[in-house]
Amino acid sequence: GGTETRASDDGGTETRAASVRAGTIAREDVVHSRYLTVYDREIEFADEDGTTRSFAYDVVGHPRSEFRFVCVAPFHSRERTVSGEPEFTIIREYAQGSNSECVVLPSGCFEPGKHESLDEVAREELQQESRLRGGTLMSLLDDDNPGLLETKWCRNRCFPFLNIDGEECNEGERDAEEFNMTHERVTARELKRLMYGGVMMMPSVVTAQLAIDKLMTTGHLNLDDIV
């Protein structure tokens, strides 16, 4: 597991095995389940001196999706936009946590029995939420990446994708709770402002940044497009 050297409370240093931060699940009970499932999880940590510490945590996740979801950045190259600038399609929808409007990129959960792959989920959400189909779809993670944890107290993992130059369509039925969802195009510069303006959900922020980084390397974006 390796070791870690850090400052101690008395101003010195202490060395601790990094494996101490990998606990053992002693107990896990489902205490609530609707869209998300809430678990009461008890974790035991074994210290190097043989002592054991036990803590209870609230953990959430979406077991029906195998704790996997996608987030897709729909990009439109400057040659295909009316503005002549590179653009992204964003989604405006209701956020129940803040009880306000938020900005996101197309996102959705993997559904076993319905989806064969995460690529299929990405294409479905593009069509359903941003009214786009086709184009070039690529994962923004390496093949061996287990997915990006949504938060430290959540079991869900995000798989970010980039879609380049999807075609507009009017197909794809949205879920009932998405009745007030809208989509629009913004320039890459405006996307950057939204990403760090406090209105965009974190998985979308990370996906957008990964997409911008990728598009900078492929030549689809340059520094002037985002500053």
Is 145 a residue whose pLDDT tops 90? yes
Beta bridge partners of 139: 161
Give the tokens for residue 89: 């399609």
C-alpha span between 207 and 186 (Å, rounded): 16
* Average pLDDT, integer, range 112-120: 95
- Residue 92: CB partners within 8 Å, gap ≥ 6? 101, 102, 103, 181, 182, 183, 184
Cβ 20 vs Cβ 14: under 8 Å: no
pLDDT at 16: 55
73-92: pLDDT as tens digits: 999 999 999 999 999 999 99
* Average pLDDT, integer, range 112-136: 95
Cβ 75 vs Cβ 83: under 8 Å: no
169-198: pLDDT as tens digits: 987 778 888 889 999 999 999 999 999 999
Is 11 a residue whose pLDDT tops 70? no
14: confidence class by pLDDT, cuts 50, 70, 90: low
C-alpha span between 88 and 74 (Å, rounded): 6
Is 7 a residue whose pLDDT tops 60? no
* Summary mean pLDDT of the chain: 91
54-75: pLDDT as tens digits: 999 999 999 999 999 999 999 9
Beta bridge partners of 182: 92
- Residue 9: CB partners within 8 Å, gap ≥ 6? none
Residue 200's CB: how many other CB atoms inside 10 A?
A: 21
C-alpha span between 60 and 55 (Å, rounded): 16
Amino acid at 6: R
- Residue 170: CB partners within 8 Å, gap ≥ 6? 131
Q: What is the pTM of this model?
A: 0.88
C-alpha span between 73 and 89 (Å, rounded): 7
5: confidence class by pLDDT, cuts 50, 70, 90: very low
pLDDT at 78: 94
